[in-house]
């Protein structure tokens, strides 16, 4: 199959925008709980009525401060309820939201503010205000910086709201209703792994049409009594904000977790019914559960429980395609482990989560089967910043593990002659801000060139097989897709990250980093000295086994011949990971070029 499409299920008036979804929810049920704010160890509910009131007051403050429809207003903060209020207030004032990752450097902030034209910035706290101050010192003109943490000064949210005391309801409504579906709602800057980040113009239609259609795609998740989710992905990422718009329309109660150190406790106390996460989260949960079991002397039992969960899920997948489902013996084993082990895995996610959506990068099929076998169905989707959110997603009733699902409503996916995935429809962005050359290069007619390589199966499910720019061509002319090899290696408990290299080289190699927590636990279990490193022969053998498992999935010419263990893991701070924990491949290879050369030394 070369093309797969899904019709738009819900349409919206052309003159509407995202803010109408809040007004409709408020009109339908002003007491509906839409958000929960953490206060100490407790969660305080926020109703639609309270949220609309706070948004309206802040929007009037923006108008009173001189913001006019079409102006750009930036937000630099960790994921939080305040981020959400600021975002919606911008839209009520007719402004365009410019998200900035809270880890951004002054030079990155300077570029985004200069390119977007934003003269007003919401910041989480004084530390981020200092970053913005350093950035704007190199720019001409005056800038407003508003603090989102507690305070009542003129530069706080309270002070900003006070600035709108003279703005009438009619003036607010005029600003709110200015934008239509075709107008830009947000400019989301790409991660900038190569060259300057580009501002993707995401329209009100991109957000709103996703929001009203996703509920029809995932009714088992969103059309249930009292659905809840904990948002911990960066709201600067378009996926998290698009999902929040969908939650608003569906009436899902959303809590926010600000940091990785709070996530586990927040999951336990909030206990969401579904989650939005990236593959690294699922990898960490699996390796953590494995380490706990082995530390308790139950390693063999965990291995059996894991194998049973995977086999059970694979059998269900087979049944969905017309094959045999789980055998009686497998079902009995699964039932036993569902009493002994699987609840512990679910408890890590809060105990109530039946579903999760995985995005931003590829999820190992083995992990997807494991979690589904444990009672948490992980639905993998696919998209880029330029496609707003998932361009495709698996559905509860129609899912195929190892694929990224069917096209979103109003979306068509085509496979080009060279294997590139092309997308057109409701999710595709407007273009790159003030960059017509890049916009023209990104499109083939009305088809957006994703840069990814994939295939469609006979039912229209999309499978991503690699990234065009990431494909390696060895000295022997063999094309190698590094992604699947890296995913397989990362399944090993001790592995944190893996980067496959070999462009123009005689064979394929890999750079591997270790998971410090897993390595420490393994050392205790095996009587290894404290501080054991990757050059320990036993660790080397474990890693060789992981590489061998990856090699078993490809031809001989694609197999990894050598690997080396790097001295430290990749982090956001080192510049080797994006905010959604995706690898910056070019940065890694550049920074570890000496290690790469050693792999190919004669």
Q: How far apart are CA 182 and CA 144, in angstroms?
A: 28
Q: How far apart are CA 19 and CA 42, in angstroms?
A: 29
Question: Over the stretch 118-177, which tens digit does the pLDDT of each residue have?
Answer: 999 999 999 999 999 999 999 999 999 999 987 777 789 999 999 999 999 999 999 999
Tokens of 150: 């507690």
Task: Check if the beta carbon of residue 410 is closer than 8 Å to that of residue 7.
Answer: yes
Look at residue 236 and tell me whether its pLDDT is greater than 90: yes
Question: Concatenated DSSP letters for 530-545?
Answer: TT--TTSHHHHHHHHH
Question: Over the stretch 115-126, which tens digit does the pLDDT of each residue have?
Answer: 999 999 999 999
> Max alpha carbon distance in the chain (Å)?
76
Supply the pLDDT for residue 530.
Answer: 66
Give percent of the chain with pLDDT exceeding 90.
70
Look at residue 474 and tell me whether its pLDDT is greater than 60: yes
Q: Within 13 A of 68's CA, how many CA atoms are on the CB side?
A: 1
| C-alpha 48 chain-centroid distance | 26
| C-alpha 582 chain-centroid distance | 9
Tell me which residue has tokens 């361009």. Answer: 391
Backbone angles phi, psi at 375, to 5 degrees: 105, 10
45: left (phi over 0), alpha (psi -120 to 50) or beta: beta
Alpha helices (H) along 360-446: 365-373, 436-442
Look at residue 411 and tell me whether its pLDDT is greater than 70: yes
Question: Over the stretch 215-230, which tens digit does the pLDDT of each residue have?
Answer: 999 999 999 999 999 9
Give percent of the chain with pLDDT exceeding 70.
98
Q: How far apart are CA 73 and CA 120, in angstroms?
A: 5
Backbone angles phi, psi at 420, to 5 degrees: -70, 140
Look at residue 522 and tell me whether its pLDDT is greater than 90: no
Tell me the mean pLDDT in the region 228-241: 95
Question: Over the stretch 550-569, which tens digit does the pLDDT of each residue have?
Answer: 988 887 888 999 999 998 89
Supply the pLDDT for residue 449.
Answer: 96
Domains and CATH numbers, the chain: 48-179 (3.40.50.980), 277-396+451-466 (no CATH), 472-599 (3.30.300.30)
The candidate with the shortest Cα–Cα distance to 162, out of 84, 89, 58, is 58
């Amino acid at each position: 199959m070369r093309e797969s499409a899904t019709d738009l299920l819900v349409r919206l008036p052309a003159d509407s925008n995202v803010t109408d979804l809040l007004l409709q929810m408020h009109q339908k049920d002003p007491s509906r709980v839409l958000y929960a704010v953490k206060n100490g160890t407790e969660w305080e509910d926020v109703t639609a009525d309270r949220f609309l009131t706070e948004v309206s007051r802040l929007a009037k403050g923006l108008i009173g401060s001189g913001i006019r429809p079409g102006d750009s207003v930036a937000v630099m903060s960790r994921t939080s309820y305040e981020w959400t209020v600021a975002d919606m207030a911008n839209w009520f004032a007719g402004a365009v939201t410019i998200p900035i990752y809270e880890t951004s450097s002054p030079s990155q902030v300077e570029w985004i503010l200069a390119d977007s034209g934003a003269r007003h910035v919401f910041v989480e706290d004084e530390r981020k205000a200092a970053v913005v101050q350093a950035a704007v010192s190199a720019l001409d003109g005056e800038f407003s910086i508003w603090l989102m943490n507690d305070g009542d000064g003129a530069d706080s949210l309270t002070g900003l709201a006070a600035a709108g005391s003279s703005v009438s309801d009619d003036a607010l409504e005029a600003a709110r209703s200015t934008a239509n579906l075709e107008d830009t709602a947000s400019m989301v800057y790409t991660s900038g792994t190569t060259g300057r980040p580009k501002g993707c113009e995401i329209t009100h239609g991109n957000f709103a049409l996703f929001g009203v259609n996703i509920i029809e795609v995932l009714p088992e998740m969103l059309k249930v009594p009292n659905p809840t989710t904990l948002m911990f992905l960066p709201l600067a990422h378009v996926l998290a904000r698009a999902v929040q718009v969908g939650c608003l329309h569906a009436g899902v109660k959303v809590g926010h977790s600000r940091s990785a150190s709070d996530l586990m406790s927040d999951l336990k106390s909030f206990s969401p019914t579904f989650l939005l996460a990236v593959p690294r989260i699922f990898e960490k949960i699996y390796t953590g559960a494995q380490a706990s079991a082995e530390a308790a002397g139950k390693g063999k039992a965990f291995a059996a429980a894991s194998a049973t969960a995977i086999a059970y899920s694979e059998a269900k997948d087979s049944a969905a395609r017309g094959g045999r489902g789980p055998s009686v013996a497998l079902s009995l084993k699964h039932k036993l482990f569902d009493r002994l082990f699987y609840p512990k895995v679910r408890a890590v996610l809060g105990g109530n989560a039946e579903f999760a959506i995985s995005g931003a990068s590829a999820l190992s099929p083995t992990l997807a089967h494991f979690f589904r076998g444990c009672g948490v169905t992980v639905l993998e989707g696919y998209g880029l910043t330029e496609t707003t959110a998932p361009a495709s997603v698996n559905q509860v009733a129609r899912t195929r593990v190892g694929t990224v699902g069917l096209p979103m409503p109003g979306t068509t996916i085509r496979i080009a002659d060279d294997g590139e995935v092309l997308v057109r429809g409701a999710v595709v962005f407007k273009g790159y801000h003030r960059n017509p050359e890049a916009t023209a290069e990104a499109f083939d007619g009305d088809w957006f060139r994703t840069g990814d390589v994939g295939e469609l199966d006979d039912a229209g499910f999309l499978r991503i097989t690699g990234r065009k720019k990431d494909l390696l061509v060895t000295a022997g002319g063999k094309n190698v897709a590094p992604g699947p090899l890296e995913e397989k290696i990362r399944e090993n408990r001790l592995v944190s990250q893996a980067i496959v290299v070999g462009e123009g080289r005689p064979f394929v190699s890999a750079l591997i980093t270790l998971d410090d927590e897993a390595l420490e636990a393994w050392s205790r279990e095996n009587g290894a000295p404290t501080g054991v490193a990757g050059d320990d022969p036993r660790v080397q053998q474990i890693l060789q086994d992981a590489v061998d498992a990856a090699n078993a999935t490809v031809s001989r010419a694609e197999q990894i011949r050598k690997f080396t263990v790097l001295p430290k893991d990749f982090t956001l701070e080192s510049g080797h990971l994006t905010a959604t924990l995706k690898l910056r491949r070019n940065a890694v290879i550049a920074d570890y070029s000496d290690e790469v050369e050693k792999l190919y030394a004669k």
